[in-house]
Amino acid sequence: MARLDLHMHSTRSDGRHAPAWVIRQAAANGAELVALSDHDTLAGVEEAREAGKALGVSVVAAVEISVVDQALGELHVLGYLPSRGELTDLDQKLSEYRDERLGRARRTIELLRELGAPVAEDTVLRHADGGVIGRPHIARALVDAGHVESVQEAFDRYLHNDGPAFVQRSVLSLEESIGLIHSGGGIASLAHPTRYRETEASIESFAAAGGDGIEIYYRNDPPDAVANGERLANRLGLVATGGTDFHGIHPGEMLPATVSIPDHAASRLTDLMKDFAS
């Protein structure tokens, strides 16, 4: 069975490790095909591909985009992309998103100060290390400042969706995000549907908006959740994708390329991505 991981993050967004490190770890775990899918950026793809070439691992350019559905709330869309040359519209939108993330971080820092848990913007930027700023960077700054003991506690107390320091972003709709991915010749998959409050409705809305796949083999989801995802994928004509969603920031995270993907799904994904990987 080919070992795949089509959902991993690096320091180019909110991961803890550089793109090359992530690919090396995936290779050490037997990876043959992977995707670096940082939030709102493709900046780590070239480094990942160079590492992949040296290690015999095929690397797909990918991105994870946050979207908002009026009925379902915030959802995440994974875009798997065949090349950088055709991505002008998507690159422009991602650039706008990155600018907005900085403004969101500053507003979050203001809220934390009002809540009696101040953190320095310089500390947040240091954790981002030139990558796309995300809530995990602020969470790590909260740990540094002694307000919490772990990144998880930072999310539980302050940064979770609807938490006291949560700041909603202005994001795309499902249709807009899928359209941008398709405009670059890409494939759109709904990330981690089991993490949404209405899993089945989210998948059905994604399919109705023109999506191509759903992330069924996610981390260590239980067999009943996987079986339900496979049933929905078959009914709606969606491709089953999978990944660890590796960040390297939480204790006990699954390492790159350790998600279990059945032979039939791995074979289909390998064929589907053969023109995307390099």
Residue with tokens 């064929």: 271
- Residue 199: what residue type? T
Coil vs helix vs strand at 163: coil
Inside any domain, residue 165: no
List, in sequence order, every residue forming a beta bridge with 218; answer none if it has no partner.
Answer: 243
Which residues lie closer than 8 Å to 116 by C-beta, 6 or more apart?
Answer: none
Distance CA 69, CA 198 (A): 12
**CA–CA dist 277, 85 (Å, integer):** 14
Q: Identify whether residues 47 and 182 lie together within a single domain.
A: yes
The answer to the question of residue 128 being in a domain is: yes
Q: Write down which residue in 116, 131, 159 finishes a domain.
A: 159
Number of domains in the chain: 2
Q: Are residues 79 and 207 in the same domain?
A: yes
Contacts of 229-232 with C-beta under 8 Å, sequence gap 24+, read: 229/193, 229/194, 229/203, 232/200, 232/203, 232/204
pLDDT of amino acid 1: 55
Q: Which residues contact 209 (CB under 8 A, 6 or more apart)?
A: 173, 174, 175, 178
Q: How far apart are alpha carbons 158 and 142 in whole angstroms?
A: 10
pLDDT block averages, 10 residues each, the chain of length 278: 89 94 98 95 93 96 90 93 68 81 92 97 91 90 96 95 87 90 93 96 97 97 96 97 94 94 94 86
What pLDDT does 84 receive? 55
Residue 87: predicted pLDDT: 60
Determine the Cα–Cα distance for residues 217 and 262; give it in Å rounded to an integer: 9
168 located within any domain = no
Boundaries of domain holding 148: 99-159
Tell the burial category of 208 from Cβ atoms under 10 Å away from its Cβ (0-12, 13-18, 19+).
exposed
Position of tokens 């995802």? 229
pLDDT given for residue 210 in this prediction: 97
Rounded to 5°, the CA angle 243-22-102 comes to: 85
Residues 89 and 103 in one domain: no
pLDDT score for 206: 97
193 and 72 in one domain? yes
CATH number where 263 lies:
3.20.20.140
169 falls within a domain: no
Same domain, 15 and 85: yes
Give the model's pLDDT for residue 88: 62
Same domain, 233 and 145: no
